[in-house]
Structure 1
């Protein structure tokens, strides 16, 4: 599948239009790009991660392991005994990723956007109609993106019950990989808990 960089498309459209974008213009162009990339769109009214939430995930899922030409190379999980799962781009894993996998930045960005919709949906299903601020939602999506455990985590149950202090305290328990505490996970969970606690 051909992938696209969004900025050049937006820049070209801005020149053609001879003006800046309205919010509606941005949404329409984003929809067109998503359709071209085959990115599944969330249902109308579905919760979406804010820029702050995406920035947090990008901080901890940084596109590391770059080749000299700027492309991205898959790398083994540094905390697991067998190196699995192999990871590339913005923390992407899966059966299509392993030793020798090489992506462009555009491929990494497109995969992140597609996967983000899936994890947002997972959080939305897990929390149902529980009262949730944008910052709480963003923190939960980041947690789920990294652990895949939003459906079974105690912090989800506490959040749904309205015990926000208890839920925030649960983030710090998810710092282990192969039974070993990891400083990177400890720091990420601290960032997620701080975002979760932040006033709307």
Structure 2
């Protein structure tokens, strides 16, 4: 599966576009639409076209990861919400989450209720993260 337009727009909206590298709230060097990794460092600048390329590459990574972790059928919106979630919190966190455990047990409603619990970064509740989780939850629950 691939992330649908609603999922991509959600990621772009909440990650924002930054063409100059910056440190996020927990100190991770970030650029573009939330791209992180060893290739991001202080002083790095990119173009918007490069940001889009990085997003596409990152999406493939997270799409593959979600596909491997989830063992139950998903519709396009559910899949895209999980890609956005893991794009932000990481595949390891998705893999060890109650959200995934409930989902893989077939408890879709219970899994959806877990999204808002992921509203912290650096042990701080962040209103922007709660808004993102609520948007991901709404997308997850939206029929296709």
Fold conserved (TM > 0.5)? yes
What displacement does 1:189 show? 0.2
1:196 is aligned to 140
Residue in 2 that maps onto 1:126: 69
| Higher gyration radius (CA) | 1
Q: TM-score, normalised by structure 1?
A: 0.69
Cα deviation digits, residues 167-200 of structure 1 (max 9, x gap): 1110111111110101110100000000011112
Instruction: Report the secondary structure of 1:75's partner residue.
Output: strand
Gaps (5+ residues) in structure 1?
Answer: 1-46, 65-71
- Mapped partners of 1:76, 1:48: distance in 2: 29
Bigger share in helix = 2
Greater share of strand = 2
Q: CA deviation at 1:123?
A: 0.2
The structure, 1 or 2, with the larger RCO (C-alpha pairs under 8 Å, 6+ apart) is: 2
Per-residue deviation, 1:52: 1.1
Superposition RMSD on alpha carbons, in Å?
0.9
Matches within 5 A, 1:29-178: 47-64=1-18, 72-77=19-24, 79-80=25-26, 84-128=27-71, 130-148=72-90, 149-178=93-122
- Answer whether contact 1:136 1:195 (CA < 8 A) is retained: yes
Structure 2 stretches of 5 or more lacking a match? none
